[in-house]
Amino acid sequence: MTVGGFGERLAVAIAQRGPLCLGIDPHPELLRSWGLGTGADGLARFSDICVSAFDGFAVVKPQVAFFEAYGSAGYAVLERTIAALREAGVLVLADAKRGDIGSTMAAYAAAWAGDSPLAADAVTASPYLGFGSLQPLLDTARDHDRGVFVLAATSNPEGASVQRADAGGRTVAQSIVDAAAALNPAGSPGSVGVVVGATLADPPDVSALNGPVLVPGVGAQGGRPDALAGLGGAHQGQLLPAVSREVLRSGPDVSAIRDAAERMRSAVAHLA
């Protein structure tokens, strides 16, 4: 496979390093439990520990909100964290969940999928202003060989009233998956993925997506690694389980975090 777009790079990373996305979620409670303090210095130290522990894994997902809470100091730490992960050869998925219209969406696209210091290998996005509202982000990501993971069906109970609503004989969530699928060419792994919660009893059909499916909620949130195979009709190598608290609560020791991550990688290895 000639590696170019994000979908192709992700497929190679999963094949070589396992289908696991590790979260960097510097929640204040974690900072305190790690004995780091909840200031910007603690945030930076937390991120540095995670970067060291996750070296050699396929994908790492910083949760942008926890960095935003610190203002410019937090964004500076996030920029350094993204750069350090990419320097180590780890794919970075910025969990920013951006969604807007027109020039505002274009500005978000420039920040997270363009040439900005915040730009990562991929970014999460919310389509609930209409899938078409994401076009500036999709275009920018394509032009820069980056990926976009579009929220489709989430595990939170509040989401069901919108995501499972009827949209012409299919759920809204299924319409999101189908719209993403239309952007992924046949013959090579697509770069437009979707987000589907690990604990959903009735997930949308992703079998025709030809792109990755980010599956948050594994581990501490109740998703079982042994129950993920075939989620929504997914093919082998399509699912990317996301784990955060299950691994981070082993900190702050780098070796302990890495051991927890290795155990989780082994638990989901059957999905590669």
Among 80, 86, 97, 249, which one carries the catalytic annotation? Answer: 97
pTM: 0.97
Which token pair is 39? 């200031």
Q: Is 97 a catalytic residue?
A: yes
pLDDT of residue 218: 87
pLDDT of residue 2 exceeding 70, the answer is no
Q: What is the distance between the alpha carbons of residues 93 and 122, in angstroms, rounded to a whole number?
A: 5
pLDDT of residue 114 exceeding 90, the answer is yes
pLDDT in tens, 245-269: 999 999 999 999 999 999 999 999 9
From the CA atom positions of the chain, what is the Rg in Å?
A: 17
Task: Calculate what percentage of the chain has a pLDDT beyond 70.
Answer: 99
The rounded Cα 156 to chain-centroid distance in angstroms is 16
Q: What is the distance between the alpha carbons of residues 28 and 38, in angstroms, rounded to a whole number?
A: 6
The CATH number fitting domain 6-271, selected from 3.40.50.1000, 2.30.110.10, 3.20.20.70, 3.40.1280.10: 3.20.20.70
pLDDT in tens, 183-227: 999 888 999 999 999 999 999 999 999 999 999 988 767 789 988
pLDDT in tens, 118-166: 999 999 999 999 999 999 999 999 999 999 999 999 999 899 999 999 9
pLDDT of residue 220: 67
